[in-house]
Structure 1
């Protein structure tokens, strides 16, 4: 069974419309409750999808930042080897000793730049991982909220069939808790 908040909202509205034709005030109230819960479930479901996408995107970008940092650290290590080799050639003397010494010194400056860039990429990675965790945290709360709202819609249907007020009140309670969890997603 696929999870489509828009389809569920439409089905909930259809149930409400059919029930409203009976002209019973209780059924009308429950039907309105179904419609309201369906809209809230669709909204929370959409927010849930947005947060899941945000978590995936931030996580993917963090991987890219880590890859860039890894490439830079590899370059740093290669330049370190070059620096040591040029230093050895300079220490060995010969006609190019001065040139080798200068090249070894250039490698030191180049390494500092590479190190700074690698550290920046690692900071970006950490920021993106934190962002991904925040999106994932909100996604979990929104999933719980949407589930409770959808269960509330189902219980409203039971209230319509049985004409029992306790089921309707239960669905209202589930709706309130579902909405509260959805709000907590952005406050917690």
Structure 2
């Protein structure tokens, strides 16, 4: 009730109150169905949100690895430039060829380690991207299951108000489809 003692009921409140307080087995069954579907739908919604968060974390990890790989490739390029300068210095008249040859070899060795690190980081980035794609697909399955359960809840509410048997069967059917979709998401069937 409102503070002023005046309360306006929604258009369906009166019918729902009578259904809830009466001895109508039809209304009781629909009310229980609605409560069960809301609980199942909440579980599906939680799983959908959890998988969406996991996908975002995997994408973030992929981006971090990709940036680190890019940094390693830039470092590799810097070593290549220094190697090229050392090779050029070897050809200058009066240059200490042995010193510059040692530098060229050092840069070659350093570049090999840097290349391996960059390739490893790129592979890790690809793995995280693949995990993200898999988990976002899983998220879509959970979201679909939750949506179908919401449709079943809506149908059961309409069934309660209209008392139509075909709507009751439609709500049961939608509920069953939603539960099957949720089960297939849980079991990773598609």
Alignment TM-score, normalising by the size of structure 1? 0.85
Is the 1:76–1:114 contact (alpha carbons within 8 Å) kept by the matching residues of 2?
Answer: yes
Residue correspondence of structure 1 range 1-188 to structure 2 within 5 A: 19-92=19-92, 94=94, 96-185=96-185, 186-188=188-190
Task: Give the match's secondary structure for 1:73.
Answer: helix
Deviations 1:15-40 (CA, angstroms, capped at 9, x unpaired): 99974432211111111110110001
Task: Give the match's secondary structure for 1:187.
Answer: coil
CA RMSD, 1 decimal: 1.9
Give distance in 2, aligned partners of 1:64 and 1:17.
Answer: 56
Give distance in 2, aligned partners of 1:187 and 1:18.
Answer: 43
Q: Quote the offset at 1:140 in angstroms.
A: 1.3
Deviations 1:144-186 (CA, angstroms, capped at 9, x unpaired): 1111100100111111112222212211111111122223332
Larger of the two Rg values belongs to structure:
2
Give distance in 2, aligned partners of 1:93 and 1:38.
Answer: 85
- Higher mean alpha-carbon deviation, 18-27 vs 153-162, is at 18-27
The structure richer in helix per residue is: 1
Give distance in 2, aligned partners of 1:46 and 1:22.
Answer: 34
Alignment TM-score, normalising by the size of structure 2? 0.85
Unaligned runs of at least 5 residues, structure 1 = 1-14
Unaligned runs of at least 5 residues, structure 2 = 1-14
Give distance in 1, aligned partners of 2:128 and 2:114.
Answer: 21
Q: How many residues align?
A: 174
